Chains A and B, each alone.
Chain A
Amino acid sequence: MMPHALSTPMIEVRDLRKSYGPLEVLKGVSFSVERGEVVVALGPSGSGKSTMLRCINHLEEYQHGEIRIEGTSAGYTTGASGRKPHSEAVNARLREQVGLVFQSFNLFPHRTAVENVMMGLIHVRGMPRRVARQMALARLDKVGLVEKADEYPAKLSGGQQQRVAIARALAMQPKVMLFDEVTSALDPELVGEVLRVIRQLAGEGMTMIIVTHEIHFARDVADRILFMDGGVIVEQGAPQQILSTPVANRLRLFLRRYQGDYMGS
């Protein structure tokens, strides 16, 4: 059993603050994620959860705070002379290590499913097509879609598209997977197939941050739940504790709104 102090958290977020012009969206968010941990971020819209995810893989810039991936500072280097942003090249390498799956899938419409999955392998890792295709097919198999490999996204259901998007992110063999409300845009009957894939990944020990509305799923899969509201983390803890005995008022209201019958179970 390794002493806690010796293992660096996979992700460390310290006092993250971000504003869009006059509007402050993140007001000092701090938390860490250990290797293999599944952290679920719950909260109402506008609470800053998606923005926080996008800061972690540096799709968004932020004004204050530090994010470390495996101990290395991401996005900026803070030195004696202040904060210097990393070059786009360094940021791109960061994003290879941090996979992000979007609410709106964002598959490339002009490429087939397998070509979507191959995209990063060919154009970032420089793999030859044949090798990339083999790897991509293996990933599609993992999400249960190998028979749709040569279909264009327009021919796939929402759930299928999202699974291809997950395969595409996984193809890069990231250290961390970020999921940004990945089932919110799906018809209810398609949500299950995506959650199944995420659950499987969690079981395999992938470090994940999941932003979602699906409280049942959060309870099933999360090692820890963060409740965010108004740009801060209001409460965090193990799912049993957070969901059955919420302390903060805002959290109670949120749970009541999203899961009327959950309270008291």
Chain B
Amino acid sequence: MFRVLAASLPYLLQGAVMTLWLSAAAVGIGTLLGIAVGVIGTTVSRIARTIVTGYIFVLRGIPVVVVMFLGYYAFPALGLRVNAYVAVGLAQIVYVSAFVAEITRSAIGSVPANQIAAARSLGMRRPAILMQVILPQATRIAIPPLLNNALTAIKQTSYASVVGVWELTYAAREVVERTLAAFQIFLGVMVIYFLICYPLSLAAKWSEARLSFSQ
């Protein structure tokens, strides 16, 4: 009954590898970039804050597919010939970073003002306050939404197929269009995505339960 799926499995698993690469890049680099942008968005400089707010607003207001298309067509428009994976990968990194930046900004803002007052009262300066008081507490607050965001990013790598990037979803559609075994293949692919995502989903739920009790 699942003969077609079994036969196509090696091909699909290769697609899954590409999915994992794209996910790792989007989540890894996107999160780091987003944290940096988010921290910059909380500085004293009004210009910096405005730019970051604009960055977050624009990227969160458009669908990820459109951001991917923009990435895909931006490079040729600038005269650069870039691998489709790189173009779309970079686009997704930027997209993820906007959401992470918002999470970071929000987490930093959630650290009670009293904590900062206490640190200032000891004579601490802003860099030390940020590193020793704000970021450790903000990190705890940020972990559950960051994990959920990572989960979303992994699923969004499948949208790269719409732009023409070959990964698991693209491979699945190819096989189905060839063999017409829609149920087998797509259900099988759902299982593969589930196996990739579920551990992260559990981690996110666990972190929500554990870390929502502040010390």
Q: Does B191 contact A (CB under 8 A)?
A: no
Q: Does A106 contact B (CB under 8 A)?
A: yes
B124 near A102 with CB under 8 A, answer: no
Q: Does A109 contact B (CB under 8 A)?
A: yes
Q: Does A92 contact B (CB under 8 A)?
A: yes
**Alpha-carbon gap, A153 to B128, bound state (A):** 21
B132 near A102 with CB under 8 A, answer: no
Across-interface contacts of B86 in A (CB, < 8 A): none
Q: Are A59 and B125 CB-contacts (below 8 A) given A106-B115, A109-B214, A110-B136?
A: no
Q: Does B215 contact A (CB under 8 A)?
A: yes
Q: Does A130 contact B (CB under 8 A)?
A: no
Q: Does B126 contact A (CB under 8 A)?
A: yes
Chain B residues numbered 102-125 whose CB sits less than 8 Å from any CB in chain A: 114-115, 117-125
Q: Does B13 contact A (CB under 8 A)?
A: no
Which A residue sits closest to B112, measured CB to CB? A106
B121 near A89 with CB under 8 A, answer: no
Q: Does B137 contact A (CB under 8 A)?
A: yes
Q: Are A106 and B117 CB-contacts (below 8 A) given A123-B132, A152-B215, A153-B215?
A: yes
Most buried by A among B114, B117, B123, B128: B123
A-B contact count (CB 8 A): 67
B124 near A120 with CB under 8 A, answer: yes
**Alpha-carbon gap, A119 to B115, bound state (A):** 13
Q: Does B133 contact A (CB under 8 A)?
A: yes
**Alpha-carbon gap, A106 to B113, bound state (A):** 10
Which B residue sits closest to A93, measured CB to CB? B123
Count residues of A near B (Cβ-Cβ below 8 Å): 29
B122 near A59 with CB under 8 A, answer: no
Chain A residues numbered 155-180 whose CB sits less than 8 Å from any CB in chain B: 165, 168-169, 172
B118 near A124 with CB under 8 A, answer: no
Chain B 128-150 interface 0/1 with A at a Cβ cutoff of 8 Å (1 = within)? 10001100110010000000000
- Distance between A100 CB and nearest chain B CB, rounded to angstroms: 4
B118 near A102 with CB under 8 A, answer: yes
Chain A residues numbered 69-126 whose CB sits less than 8 Å from any CB in chain B: 88-89, 92-96, 99-100, 102, 104, 106-110, 119-120, 123-124
B123 near A172 with CB under 8 A, answer: yes
Chain B residues numbered 186-215 whose CB sits less than 8 Å from any CB in chain A: 214-215
A59 near B214 with CB under 8 A, answer: no
B117 near A95 with CB under 8 A, answer: no
A59 near B120 with CB under 8 A, answer: yes
Which A residue sits closest to B117, measured CB to CB? A59
Q: Does A154 contact B (CB under 8 A)?
A: yes
**Alpha-carbon gap, A102 to B113, bound state (A):** 12
Q: Are A109 and B122 CB-contacts (below 8 A) given A102-B117, A119-B132, A123-B128?
A: no
Across-interface contacts of B214 in A (CB, < 8 A): 109
Which B residue sits closest to A97, measured CB to CB? B123
A100 near B121 with CB under 8 A, answer: yes
**Alpha-carbon gap, A64 to B175, bound state (A):** 77
Across-interface contacts of A110 in B (CB, < 8 A): 136-137, 140, 215
A108 near B115 with CB under 8 A, answer: yes
A92 near B125 with CB under 8 A, answer: yes
Across-interface contacts of B128 in A (CB, < 8 A): 123-124
Which B residue sits closest to A110, measured CB to CB? B136
Question: Which residues of A line the B interface, CB within 8 A?
Answer: 57, 59, 88-89, 92-96, 99-100, 102, 104, 106-110, 119-120, 123-124, 152-154, 165, 168-169, 172
Sorted nearest first, the 3 A-B pairs with minimum C-beta distance are A96-B123, A106-B118, A120-B122
Q: List 22 A-B contacts (CB under 8 A).
A: A59-B120, A88-B126, A93-B123, A94-B123, A95-B120, A95-B121, A96-B122, A102-B114, A104-B114, A106-B114, A106-B117, A106-B118, A107-B118, A108-B118, A109-B137, A119-B122, A119-B124, A124-B122, A124-B125, A124-B128, A153-B215, A165-B118
